[in-house]
Structure 1
Amino acid sequence: MSIKDRLAAKAASIGTSPRVQKADDDLPGRPKTAPGQLMASFPLLAEKERELQSAMRRIEELETAGVGSSQEIAIETLVEVPGRRRVLSDEEYKELRANLENNPLVHPIVYRPLGDGRNEIISGNNRVAIYRDDLNRSTIRGVAFAGTDAEVELGAAFSNLLAPALPDFEKYRQFKRIQQNLGLSQADITRMSGLAQSHVARILSFENLPDAAKEVVASKPHKLGGTAAARFASLAQQGRVEEVIKAISALVNSVDMTQERALALASPSRPKAGRPSVVTINAGKRKLCDVSVRSGVVGLRFSGKDGEAMAEEWAERIAKFIRAEIDGK
């Protein structure tokens, strides 16, 4: 089931699943009892549900809208909202540019008229950038979006979240935008996206990376996945902040660096155990035992059917020898 389908399935439960109030929400005039808080939350939740369902309907309509229902819009009037544009890998950008250069625009962009001659881009920032900067086009096909600020923000976020092969860091950026602009909690995002709670938590683990590391990842978000980000975040919380920044920089800027190797760079180094030195002692032509030394440990390994008994006997002899050496000093 796609995120969009799960989004629709989950939306109906939002109005009956109020967020748990935090302790710092205990402000003057706010109900103190659980029933009172529940009743006070209903209007806000109902409004949120209406905005979400409206945005979902608009997303569905605009996703199915073809070029025939769109119109040419002057690119110079289009305004990009910082943070909305999805960061593409070099390969993705080249593929999109080649497609737009050689083919008509199949999926029009979505924009909101601002009433002053400008138009806010909701989805299609990369298409606009390529049309304007690479192909020197003056117009692009677009569909107007009419809705509240919350609907616009949800539409912009989910147009990215529904994109195939979206890197985990880009999902994190969209989740953070939803949290900051709409005041939603992690639980709200989990219900809205239809993703598993563990998946959302893993994506939001990017938040626990050092700021310098997040800036590096932002340039090439496909380089670091959510699972590895959670492990890097754990290392940073253990005090290995500089090591994490250096390892993530090496991962992002290197061609052949893997996530596992980068994690090894950031992890505490473990002393490599040396190979044991082994001396074989023979009694005539028969092997008596092997004597090995490794990491301050001397070991004797006796062979044959009497090996265990001989080991006990020699253990006593060695102990007496050591005691005699100590007493003689």
Structure 2
Amino acid sequence: MSLRDELLKKSQRAVEHMGVAKPAAAKGAEPQGARPVTTPGAVAFLQPTIDSLNERVKDAEAANAELRRKLASQPTEVPLEQLDEKPGRKRKLTPEQFEELKENLRSNPLVHPVAVKALDNGRFEIVSGHNRVDAFRALGRAAVPVVVVDIEEEILDRTAFYANLLQPSLPDFEKYLGFRREKEKTGATQKELAQAAGVPESTVSMLFAFEHLPARARQLIEDRPDGIGMNCAAELARLAREGAAERVVEAVELLVSGKLTQKEAVGHAGRRPARLPPTPAAGKPVKVRAGRLDFCQYVSRGTTLRIDFKDEEHRIEAEARIARLLQELAEGSRTGS
């Protein structure tokens, strides 16, 4: 039964109910504003209400039809060659994580389409889903399902970052980089950044501990951001400020290579350096011992420093560290000149 038929039926019942007329106040006078007592009259009386309800039904049906049309049109497949990537927006995965994603997509459909923004030149800019696109490329696929989002250009990076921020696997270092970009772009305080992201201010403050690590340490972390969390970074940053910057870099290098745990890295950076022996006389050999055993012997003459090790493995490790130290000294010399 249609809405109109239902209203007509109700109006007829109302007319039947009103069939007994009340006594008139004066003979021949009809009460002012009295309702019509015939079926056509009742229908005419209710017609404005019926028309209004019919309009509301039509609007609701049109809205549902539009929604069904939009749902039917998305997602749609776009050739991979038409997708553009903006630097700094991709969430970095470890080789293991990427391999897992790729193998998952090899056998299963893409549940979460890639979010893109349509560009004026007919291409599409990736907003979220860079790694899914990379996985499709690695699998030799030609196109990927996408949904087109309409987001203002100035908030695209923020939207992509906050979307990644909700991922539990996003490393703390990547979160720091995202907050740093947002701070540089907007000038927001850490408190404002925390409010916008919906996280405690203390969390944002801890993430910015990466800011206080030596530049070389941050470069090492960029290659393996999943290897260090914000708590470890905060401890290492404190040690760097206390004068242990060189040991912090060593600790981070060992940490990201998997030779130390985060706890061990903090311990390595926090150990007190061995007391150096007094500068020997020129040309006089100096022995360096590890307990009672000889570790190496060095002798200096003019601009030459010669070191002889007892063990080739120790020589290889020391050579790498000495090369790094010499490079730092060289850069410092160039800066000071």
Report the TM-score range of the alignment, normalised by the length of the smaller protein: 0.5 to 0.7
Cα 1:269–1:213 change in 2 (3 A) is same
Question: d(CA) in 2 for partners of 1:67 and 1:226?
Answer: 44
Q: Which amino acid counterpart does residue 151 of structure 2 have in structure 1?
A: G
TM-score by length of 1: 0.59
Question: Would you say the 8 A contact 1:87–1:219 is kept in 2?
Answer: no
Match of 1:145 among 129, 145, 149: 149
CA offsets 1:259-293 (integer angstroms, 9 cap, x no match): 1111111113288xxxxxxxxxxxxxxxxxxxxxx
Q: Which amino acid counterpart does residue 80 of structure 1 have in structure 2?
A: E
Percent of aligned pairs sharing the same letter: 37
SS at match of 1:136: coil
Question: d(CA) in 2 for partners of 1:227 and 1:66?
Answer: 44
Residue 68 of structure 1: how far off its partner (Å): 6.8
Matched, 1:261 2:273: no
Residue 192 of structure 1: how far off its partner (Å): 1.2
Residue 184 of structure 1: how far off its partner (Å): 2.2
Question: d(CA) in 2 for partners of 1:144 and 1:246?
Answer: 46
Which residue matches 1:212?
216
Matched, 1:164 2:164: no
Match of 1:182 among 186, 189, 205: 186
Q: Which amino acid counterpart does residue 260 of structure 2 have in structure 1?
A: M
Q: Which amino acid counterpart does residue 174 of structure 2 have in structure 1?
A: E
Which residue matches 2:87?
82
Flag as ranges the 4+ runs of structure 1 deviating above 3 A: 65-68
Cα 1:138–1:181 change in 2 (3 A) is farther
The higher radius of gyration belongs to: 2
| Superposition pairs of residues 223-262 of structure 1, within 5 angstroms | 223-254=227-258, 256-262=259-265
Question: d(CA) in 2 for partners of 1:225 and 1:74?
Answer: 37
Residue 258 of structure 1: how far off its partner (Å): 0.5
Which residue matches 2:284?
none
Q: Which amino acid counterpart does residue 172 of structure 1 have in structure 2?
A: Y
Structure possessing the higher relative contact order (Cα contacts under 8 Å, 6 or more residues apart):
1
Match of 1:69 among 71, 74, 79: 74
SS at match of 2:111: coil
Matched, 1:123 2:128: yes
Question: Would you say the 8 A contact 1:247–1:263 is kept in 2?
Answer: yes
Question: d(CA) in 2 for partners of 1:207 and 1:222?
Answer: 17
Question: d(CA) in 1 for partners of 2:96 and 2:71?
Answer: 27
Question: d(CA) in 1 for partners of 2:245 and 2:88?
Answer: 26
Question: d(CA) in 1 for partners of 2:76 and 2:266?
Answer: 49
Residue 219 of structure 1: how far off its partner (Å): 1.4
Question: Superposition RMSD on alpha carbons, in Å?
Answer: 1.9
SS at match of 1:73: strand
SS at match of 1:238: helix
Stretches of structure 1 lacking an aligned partner (at least 5 in a row): 1-64, 272-329
Question: d(CA) in 2 for partners of 1:142 and 1:165?
Answer: 23
Question: Would you say the 8 A contact 2:80–2:144 is kept in 1?
Answer: yes
| Superposition pairs of residues 1-329 of structure 1, within 5 angstroms | 69-132=74-137, 134-254=138-258, 256-269=259-272
SS at match of 2:104: helix
CA offsets 1:169-223 (integer angstroms, 9 cap, x no match): 1111111121123332211111112211211100111111111111111111111
Cα 1:232–1:114 change in 2 (3 A) is same
Question: d(CA) in 2 for partners of 1:185 and 1:153?
Answer: 18
Question: d(CA) in 2 for partners of 1:155 and 1:164?
Answer: 17
Cα 1:179–1:66 change in 2 (3 A) is farther
TM-score by length of 2: 0.58
Question: d(CA) in 2 for partners of 1:249 and 1:266?
Answer: 11
Stretches of structure 2 lacking an aligned partner (at least 5 in a row): 1-69, 275-337
CA offsets 1:141-169 (integer angstroms, 9 cap, x no match): 01112121233122111111011232211
Which residue matches 1:3?
none
SS at match of 2:184: helix
Which residue matches 1:32?
none
